[in-house]
Chain A
Amino acid sequence: MITRRPFVLGLICGGLALGSGLTLSGAATAQDASNYPNQPIQLVVPFAPGGASDFAARLMQNKLSEHLGQQIVVVNRDGAAGNIGMEMAARAKPDGYTLYLGNVGTVSINPHLFPNLTVKPLKDFIPISIVADTPGLMIARPDFPAKNAKEFVEYVKANPGKINFASPGTGSVNRLEMEALQYAQGLKMTHIPYKGGAGPAAADVMGGHVDVMFVTIATAINNVKAGRLKALAATTKERVASLPEVPTMMEQGLTNRPSSSWQGVLAPAGTPKPIIDKVHAAIVETMRDPTIRERMASAGVIAVSSASPEEFMEYIKADSQQWSDIIEKAGIKAD
């Protein structure tokens, strides 16, 4: 029976049988950027299947494999808010055969939340390109008295300590977005953390058990359209095309920066520059693919790529600084 599973899987998914994640050891042949890649490449996803990072990885897996000429194998290595997968990728041989799908949480937030984290993303990784940009929405229970974020702020000021806000976890970007608002406006609310993704938290807002939360557009948009959730603001620079009536946090004067749950591909520090450039070019091609763009868009995710690896580095630096400031000011700890 042991050999049967790879056989059955292999039957269906062709060369993908490797995907069981058991076999790849990253053993590298003679390093030569010119014939890279000549073996399958593993893409480490630091979260379990079913989440936003896994979705992004699986969506681009086929096209990216095509453009690189080698099979991309997605390896889910979850645990410790993504830190376990990030450490595994950082310690891998820098030969281009291990890539890391980082996100706002592991790369920009965790280093400031976990003092014992041995990985320093800006030092231990070379950013290659951003791939997905997932803006957020501030949602409230359907019968909440405020119509937009500005009214919401007034309401909380008039009712200090009475409003509860949910989040998908203590160190999540969605919590920090609310903490930033709370700090900037001097609000007093109670934080109700959830685990297991944004689904359970959003369900409790929908059911009226919790008042408000920040959440990715993907999670909320359909229920906003169906009137089961109220959208108070978007975290984007300009209004979201599919929700034109929802104002942004920026235009309501509540923040001066957009914020996003993003995913991007990074490589362990020391990976040769020609390889970085090759992967970068392949990612740019992949993210331009109309089918991928369209499918991501319908999931509330914007397919993007960085003009250059350097530009992605600058993006991460600014993003990391932003969250570091909020974590410090609001006095948030997780370890």
Chain B
Amino acid sequence: MELLNNLALGFSTALAPVNLMYGFLGVLLGTTIGVLPGLGPVATISILLPITFTLPPEAALIMLAGIYYGAAYGGSTTAILVNLPGESSSVVTAIDGYQMARRGKAGLALATAALSSFIAGTLATVLIAVMAPALAEVALKFGPADYFSLMVFGLIAAVILANGSVVKAIGMILLGVLLGTMGTDVNTGTPRFTFGVAEFSDGIDFAVIAMGMFGLGETIGNLSRKDETNGVLSEVRGLWPSWAEIRSFLAPALRGTALGSCLGMLPGGGPVLSSFSAYALEKKISRKPGEFGKGAIEGVAGPEAANNAAAQTAFIPMLTLGLPSSAVMALMIGALMMQGLSPGPQLLNNNAQLFWGLIASMWIGNAMLVILNLPLIGIWVKLLSVPYRMLYPAILLICCIGVYSLKSSALDVIVATFFGLMGFVFYRLKCEPAPLLLGFILGPMIEENLRRALLISHGSPVVFVDRAISLTFLIMSVLLLIVMIAPAIRTKRDLAFQEEG
């Protein structure tokens, strides 16, 4: 019953008035910056870091963690309402969430996102409480070869993201991979495709491309359609989903949670990768894959649950090993160090109150987010009744500020504008931006891990089939390819038989 004692300690810590207040402040701030594109948790947490110096450790960590998952939560709001993902992890939510909004189901989409996130947050909290140390061991088992095979699997699955032409999707993925090669080569330090511009030496920021392609591109695209209301129905049905609707998103939310919990622990991908994978999974197993891209509720529930679960399980390697899996987690380690605490295997024993308090606060924070956001949905939806000629300039301006705030770089704004124009071209060509973004994330990771695995094995490719984890993912990749190609072959064969007959 040690677990119950630990959880009791955690909840008594997290429910202490001062911690509760800082937790609320964190999720409130997180939701706010999450709604604003570009302004991410990394910048916010680092600005607040010196202030946490004077706070008790539990309050500091609880507030910063609240900002982090609050931001992941808030990011989906603008994704659904105006197809503008506030955070990179909500890019996928924009696909079907925005379509739901255009069909007048904005309220339902927002409620689905909120409740799926809550389900995921609850289960991920339990998972961390019960299994954190054991899961950290699993994460350590992943070597470069295993990452490579996992990413290959992800890239193949990315094709499923396409709602229209598969050929166009593959083209977009490859374009994304190409864009991802920009920047300094990790192995040799050679600049690639930087055009002699120092600002390009680390490649292009994901948020710059995402905001250009989605935010700016979509805006131009919508304006070119002329009609002022743009098909978004401002009338809204009841905000609380019906029982049938809850049933329809419960299973996807659970699957998304499982997927997100696993991927969240691995460095690099985290919430972004898990939301993409969850979408791909839902589309693949759906009985009506044609609905995806046109406002499928599963396409909102799965990815939203996944990114929230991943945002939480990302704490596992940080809390148990002191290893950050992302920039935000590196900041969390910084926050611990500012408190004079050292993250690592001893944290659990030496600072049990902090450890369990933080875990309990995640669940409380998720509950606060639902309470905070459900009443807000009505207000958010009213935003849609703002005429586009007023809404769009505001969106453009917020996008520009957001992009600029990433690195205080004017060049980033110009680059985002360029991608905005490209986004418009793709919009007209009916090429979807989501596969491009996935290629952009996965491409460099595949390259890095492929080369690293081969360096470690001194050039022997056997390493990819020698390791059980890697082999498993490679077999799954082959199976997935067969599943995707088989219907096409069968159709062709049927045609051939018809011709013979």
List the interface of chain A (C-beta within 8 A of B): 1-2, 4-5, 8-9, 12-13, 16, 19-22, 48-51, 54-55, 58-59, 61-62, 74-81, 83-84, 87, 113, 161-162, 164, 169-171, 190-197, 199-200, 202-204, 206-207, 209-210, 218-219, 221-223, 225-226, 228, 294-295, 298-300, 333-335
Q: Are A295 and B346 closer than 8 Å at their CB atoms?
A: no
Q: Are B201 and A223 closer than 8 Å at their CB atoms?
A: no
CB-defined contacts of B341 to chain A, threshold 8 Å: 298
CB distance from A97 to the nearest CB of B (A): 16
With A77-B407, A79-B202 in contact, do A58 and B330 touch (Cβ < 8 Å)?
no
Q: Are B50 and A61 closer than 8 Å at their CB atoms?
A: yes
Contact of B452 among A22, A192, A298 (CB under 8 A): A192
Identify which of B11-19, B182-190, B365-373, B493-501 touches chain A. Answer: B182-190
B482 lies within 8 A of chain A by Cβ: no
Q: Are B334 and A50 closer than 8 Å at their CB atoms?
A: yes
With A4-B32, A9-B29 in contact, do A78 and B344 touch (Cβ < 8 Å)?
no
With A197-B324, A207-B141 in contact, do A1 and B191 touch (Cβ < 8 Å)?
no
Q: Are B140 and A206 closer than 8 Å at their CB atoms?
A: yes
B472 lies within 8 A of chain A by Cβ: no
CB-defined contacts of B398 to chain A, threshold 8 Å: 1-2
With A79-B407, A193-B187, A203-B317 in contact, do A13 and B47 touch (Cβ < 8 Å)?
yes
Identify which of B35-43, B123-131, B171-179 touches chain A. Answer: B35-43
Considering the chains assembled together, what is the distance between the CA atoms of A236 and B36 in angstroms? 46
With A200-B267, A222-B322, A222-B345 in contact, do A12 and B48 touch (Cβ < 8 Å)?
yes
With A49-B43, A295-B340 in contact, do A62 and B50 touch (Cβ < 8 Å)?
yes
With A61-B50, A190-B455, A295-B339 in contact, do A5 and B267 touch (Cβ < 8 Å)?
no
Contact of B327 among A50, A218, A334 (CB under 8 A): A50
Query: Closest residue to A221 on the B side, CB-wise?
Result: B342
Considering the chains assembled together, what is the distance between the CA atoms of A2 and B32 in angstroms? 10
Q: Are B198 and A79 closer than 8 Å at their CB atoms?
A: yes
CB distance from B63 to the nearest CB of A (A): 9
Q: Which B317-368 residues sit within 8 Å CB-CB of chain A?
A: 317, 321-325, 327-328, 330-331, 333-334, 337-346
CB-defined contacts of A164 to chain B, threshold 8 Å: 455-456
Contact of B29 among A8, A161, A199 (CB under 8 A): A8
Q: Are A49 and B45 closer than 8 Å at their CB atoms?
A: yes
Q: Are B330 and A209 closer than 8 Å at their CB atoms?
A: no
Considering the chains assembled together, what is the distance between the CA atoms of A203 and B136 in angstroms? 11
Q: Are A22 and B404 closer than 8 Å at their CB atoms?
A: yes
Q: Is the interface of B mostly helix, strand, loop or mixed?
A: helix
Q: Are A22 and B408 closer than 8 Å at their CB atoms?
A: yes
Considering the chains assembled together, what is the distance between the CA atoms of A1 and B317 in angstroms? 35
B448 lies within 8 A of chain A by Cβ: yes
Contact of B42 among A48, A79, A191, A333 (CB under 8 A): A48
Considering the chains assembled together, what is the distance between the CA atoms of A75 and B142 in angstroms? 36
CB-defined contacts of A80 to chain B, threshold 8 Å: 184, 198-199, 201-202
CB distance from B443 to the nearest CB of A (A): 15
B144 lies within 8 A of chain A by Cβ: yes
CB distance from A71 to the nearest CB of B (A): 11
B51 lies within 8 A of chain A by Cβ: yes
Query: Closest residue to A21 on the B side, CB-wise?
Result: B408
Contact of B46 among A58, A62, A294, A335 (CB under 8 A): A58
Q: Are A194 and B186 closer than 8 Å at their CB atoms?
A: yes
CB distance from B24 to the nearest CB of A (A): 12
Q: Are A334 and B189 closer than 8 Å at their CB atoms?
A: yes
Query: Closest residue to A114 on the B side, CB-wise?
Result: B189
Considering the chains assembled together, what is the distance between the CA atoms of A18 and B455 in angstroms? 46
Q: Which B46-102 residues sit within 8 Å CB-CB of chain A?
A: 46-51, 53
Q: Are A222 and B32 closer than 8 Å at their CB atoms?
A: no
CB distance from B431 to the nearest CB of A (A): 30
> Please, could you name 27 A-B residue pairs with CB atoms under 8 Å apart, sorted by A?
A2-B401, A12-B25, A12-B51, A16-B51, A21-B405, A22-B404, A49-B327, A50-B324, A58-B46, A77-B408, A79-B201, A79-B202, A170-B188, A170-B189, A191-B455, A193-B186, A194-B452, A197-B324, A199-B325, A203-B267, A218-B337, A222-B346, A223-B321, A226-B345, A298-B340, A333-B189, A334-B189
Give me 7 other A-B pairs in contact (C-beta within 8 A), A12-B51, A59-B338 excluded: A2-B401, A5-B36, A9-B48, A58-B46, A83-B198, A222-B322, A295-B339
CB distance from A168 to the nearest CB of B (A): 11
With A1-B36, A5-B36, A5-B39 in contact, do A20 and B405 touch (Cβ < 8 Å)?
yes
CB-defined contacts of B401 to chain A, threshold 8 Å: 2, 22
Most A-side CB within 10 Å, residue of B142, B330, B343: B330
Considering the chains assembled together, what is the distance between the CA atoms of A244 and B45 in angstroms? 36
Q: Are A207 and B140 closer than 8 Å at their CB atoms?
A: yes
Q: Which B255-270 residues sit within 8 Å CB-CB of chain A?
A: 267-268
Considering the chains assembled together, what is the distance between the CA atoms of A191 and B451 in angstroms? 12
Q: Are A55 and B334 closer than 8 Å at their CB atoms?
A: yes
Contact of B334 among A16, A54, A191, A204 (CB under 8 A): A54
Q: Are B322 and A13 closer than 8 Å at their CB atoms?
A: no
Considering the chains assembled together, what is the distance between the CA atoms of A300 and B344 in angstroms? 13
Considering the chains assembled together, what is the distance between the CA atoms of A222 and B142 in angstroms? 21
CB-defined contacts of A1 to chain B, threshold 8 Å: 35-36, 398
CB-defined contacts of A199 to chain B, threshold 8 Å: 267, 323-325, 330
With A170-B188, A223-B345 in contact, do A192 and B50 touch (Cβ < 8 Å)?
no
CB-defined contacts of A190 to chain B, threshold 8 Å: 455-456, 458
* 10 smallest beta-carbon distances between A and B, as pairs: A222-B344, A50-B330, A49-B46, A334-B189, A226-B345, A299-B337, A80-B201, A170-B189, A209-B143, A207-B140
B208 lies within 8 A of chain A by Cβ: no
Q: Are A197 and B343 closer than 8 Å at their CB atoms?
A: no
Considering the chains assembled together, what is the distance between the CA atoms of A331 and B456 in angstroms? 22
Considering the chains assembled together, what is the distance between the CA atoms of A94 and B470 in angstroms? 55
Considering the chains assembled together, what is the distance between the CA atoms of A223 and B401 in angstroms? 41
**Chain B window 129-157, contacts with chain A (Cβ cutoff 8 Å), 1 for yes, 0 for no:** 00000000001111110000000000000
CB-defined contacts of B140 to chain A, threshold 8 Å: 203, 206-207
Q: Are A223 and B322 closer than 8 Å at their CB atoms?
A: yes
B297 lies within 8 A of chain A by Cβ: no
CB-defined contacts of B142 to chain A, threshold 8 Å: 207
Q: Are B141 and A55 closer than 8 Å at their CB atoms?
A: no
Q: Are A203 and B321 closer than 8 Å at their CB atoms?
A: yes
CB-defined contacts of B328 to chain A, threshold 8 Å: 50
B33 lies within 8 A of chain A by Cβ: yes
B397 lies within 8 A of chain A by Cβ: yes
Contact of B330 among A51, A202, A222 (CB under 8 A): A51
CB-defined contacts of B407 to chain A, threshold 8 Å: 76-79
Q: Are B455 and A192 closer than 8 Å at their CB atoms?
A: yes
Considering the chains assembled together, what is the distance between the CA atoms of A49 and B324 in angstroms? 13
Most A-side CB within 10 Å, residue of B47, B321, B337: B47
Q: Are A295 and B345 closer than 8 Å at their CB atoms?
A: no
Considering the chains assembled together, what is the distance between the CA atoms of A51 and B189 in angstroms? 20
Considering the chains assembled together, what is the distance between the CA atoms of A191 and B46 in angstroms? 32
Considering the chains assembled together, what is the distance between the CA atoms of A49 and B406 in angstroms? 11
Contact of A226 among B184, B199, B344, B448 (CB under 8 A): B344
CB-defined contacts of B42 to chain A, threshold 8 Å: 48-50
CB distance from A185 to the nearest CB of B (A): 21
CB distance from A209 to the nearest CB of B (A): 4
CB-defined contacts of A334 to chain B, threshold 8 Å: 189
CB-defined contacts of B448 to chain A, threshold 8 Å: 195
Q: Are A203 and B323 closer than 8 Å at their CB atoms?
A: yes
CB-defined contacts of A162 to chain B, threshold 8 Å: 458
Considering the chains assembled together, what is the distance between the CA atoms of A83 and B194 in angstroms? 15
